[in-house]
């Protein structure tokens, strides 16, 4: 995915009360994560299509500490699809996933 598509998703489809996203990749399994948007290097990374994401295994600790070291950096060009977790849950309940 390109920077513009990812940023548009983050700006329009991310509910403030539910920051969790399922990220599908070209060559690896999907992950659930939280995009870290309030770190000082966000604009710099975004300009290169890199994204700091906290993986699901770190959600509890992240919600307690907001420690940016819990995040990993991913290349956005490897993303194939982003789905808000609320949308994902609706599809699972409906049998769509």
The residue that leads in pLDDT, 91 or 71, is: 71
Of the candidates 12, 67, 71, the one whose C-alpha atom is nearest the C-alpha of residue 45 is: 71
Q: Which CATH code, of 2.30.29, 3.40.50, 2.30.30, 2.60.40, is assigned to 3-94?
A: 2.30.30
Which pTM does this prediction carry?
A: 0.83
pLDDT of 18 reads: 77
> What would the pLDDT profile of 74-95 be if each residue is shown by its tens digit?
999 999 999 987 655 444 444 4
Which long-range CB contacts under 8 A does 68-74 form with residues at least 24 apart? 68/36, 68/39, 71/36, 73/45, 74/23, 74/50
Residue 29 has pLDDT above 90, yes or no: yes
Ordered by start, the domain boundaries in the chain are: 3-94
């Amino acid at each position: 995915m390109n920077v513009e598509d990812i940023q548009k998703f983050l700006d329009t489809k991310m509910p403030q009360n539910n920051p969790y996203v399922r990220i599908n990749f070209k060559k690896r399994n999907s992950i659930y994560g939280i995009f870290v948007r309030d770190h000082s290097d966000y604009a710099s990374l975004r300009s290169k299509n890199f994204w700091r994401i906290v993986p699901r295994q770190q959600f509890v600790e992240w919600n307690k500490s907001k420690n940016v070291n819990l995040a990993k950096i991913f290349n956005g060009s490897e993303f194939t699809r982003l789905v808000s977790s609320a949308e994902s849950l609706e599809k699972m309940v409906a049998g769509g996933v």
